[in-house]
Chain A
Amino acid sequence: MTDFAALQAAVLKGNRNDVKDIVQQAIDNQEDINAILDRGMIPAMREIGERFSRNEAYVPELLIAARAMQAGLTLLEPLIAASGRKTLGKVAVGTVKGDLHDIGKNLVAIMLKGAGYDVLDLGVNCDIGKFEEAVAQGASILACSSLLTTTMPYMKEVVEHFKGRKVKIIIGGAPVTQDYADEIGADGYGEDANGAVKIVDKLFQEA
């Protein structure tokens, strides 16, 4: 029997050696892969996201938890591929054109991956062409990040470019607000990395 509580605790503490040991043991015991993810690692990453939103956890805790989860995922990935398990959906994350800040974008990518989404990290300085490529690769949601007020208007260009198409656009970043998201017609706004996961959850549920 896999100790899912111990697995969750190891992810939350960022203890990658424990995560590796527990996941390996679970694999050896032919534990259901979905259970390892859905009862062990994903709830832990969602919990750390909630703590982050409540200012009970900070960026280092998110990073170390994500690294621990990745240690487990590395062991699981071949089995996940073989099992045909579907991710919750594909989301592309990128900092918009003109903006080279990546920490917020990286946190969103980490949290989405931790929540069970397939994440395409487009990097920084992303133009519409890059977002188009992501859509061509199957992204259903484009998450656009901006730290600078001077690059925020590019989010509007992205929203307008994809208007009328099935793909959803969500936005976030330090100067970005719900009001701005409403103003430019974005499909959602993430106040922080955990907020981005919640809005992605909502959009996929509505789809």
Chain B
Amino acid sequence: MAKQPLILEFLNGTRPEAIPFMPIFMRYAARFGKVPYREFCLDVEAHCRANWKTAKAFSSDWVNVMSDPYAESEVFGAKIHYPEDGLPQESGHALADLDAFPECAPEEFLASPRIAARIEQIALFSRHNPEPLLICGWVEGPLAEYCDLRGMGDAFLDLYDQPEKVHGIIDKTMHLAMLFIEKQIQAGAHCIGIGDAACSQCGLEFYREFAFAWEKKLVDHIHCLGAIAKLHICGNTTAILPDMIATGADIVDIDHLVTDMTPYVPLLAPHQKLCGNLDPVAIIQNMQPDQIKAAARKALAQAPGKLILSGGCEITPDTPAVNILALAELAKR
């Protein structure tokens, strides 16, 4: 039987003693891999090369396709500028008029350059994965995608003013997300991440009305296709965490703004784990290795056997390598 990625073994209970290490490397990976950020976003080979190099150097247990939130919104009309070595920038929002959401046929969606590139990244990861590491695809979640299209300010006012139209647009984007998930899993993804960061800013009521049902549907779809789901909502998710867990996502990311994970551990089903939750700046970037290890031990003690070690969000590009190595060392020990 082929060896499984450690994260899968941890999730299915065959390696309960393990501490998987799942840091989010994006700008860090590009810098470490000496790949300009434009290439990291757009060039399949460069993205994968930087990811592999970073994962190997820091004993990370996964590789992923994450780089920026605009892969899907570009298909829906967002004008994205890719600076040579900076984060992609959206010039104006794609959806000025809620009645003008573009109809997008599935084949058109899949053929768009960013979507096709993400699927190719998965395929490339999958072709050469001797470790093996967990290969993780990604989709924007319902509310995050809506905010990408409208801008958060207008998007949140729409929740009050035009809820039916918001639902209609979310339905359209999420049907394509289902297809995107399917293609990523077919290409070799073990896991699909659902990024829905806007949900930490909207409160429980709106989360339930506009995000939860679709997140759950995406998770169910991922499970039906034989993969695992990771739900990433950074920020203070204290109010919505029980619902996030109720989506059934196998890996529920927790940011450092959730100060105590203990109350949420009993809510986890046997297949579910938390992932986090060290402060990427105050702890991982700015503390000394011994202090970082102490903070990690404290986090692990809050969810014994139930925590995948990670920062609450992306590892910052200026983080000293020794700090990440300290976490890797603790995890691997």
Number of residue pairs A-B, CB distance < 8 angstroms: 52
State whether A103 touches B281 (Cβ < 8 A).
Answer: no
Interface check B126, CB cutoff 8 A: no
- Stretch from B44-52, B100-108, B154-162, B182-190 that touches the partner: B154-162
Interface check B302, CB cutoff 8 A: no
- Stretch from A24-32, A61-69, A161-169 that touches the partner: A61-69
State whether B203 touches A61 (Cβ < 8 A).
Answer: yes
A118 to chain B, nearest CB (A): 21
Interface check B118, CB cutoff 8 A: no
State whether B152 touches A103 (Cβ < 8 A).
Answer: yes
State whether A58 touches B203 (Cβ < 8 A).
Answer: yes
For A61, list chain B residues within 8 Å (CB).
Answer: 203
Interface size on B (CB < 8 Å)? Answer: 24
State whether A59 touches B281 (Cβ < 8 A).
Answer: no
Given A55-B236, A55-B238, A103-B152, A60-B318 contact (CB < 8 Å): no
For A175, list chain B residues within 8 Å (CB).
Answer: 280-281, 316
Contact with A along B7-37 (1 / 0, CB 8 A): 0000000000000000000010000000000
Interface check B89, CB cutoff 8 A: yes
Interface check A83, CB cutoff 8 A: no
**Nearest CB to that of A175 among chain B residues?**
B281
Residues from 270 to 309 in B contacting A, C-beta threshold 8 Å = 280-282, 285
Interface check A149, CB cutoff 8 A: yes
18 CB contacts below 8 A, A to B, read: A55-B238, A59-B152, A59-B156, A60-B157, A60-B206, A64-B157, A64-B160, A100-B89, A149-B285, A149-B316, A149-B318, A150-B316, A150-B318, A175-B280, A175-B281, A175-B316, A177-B282, A179-B282
Given contacts A59-B152, A60-B160, 11 further A-B contacts (CB under 8 A): A55-B238, A60-B157, A64-B156, A98-B86, A100-B89, A103-B201, A106-B153, A149-B285, A150-B318, A175-B281, A179-B282
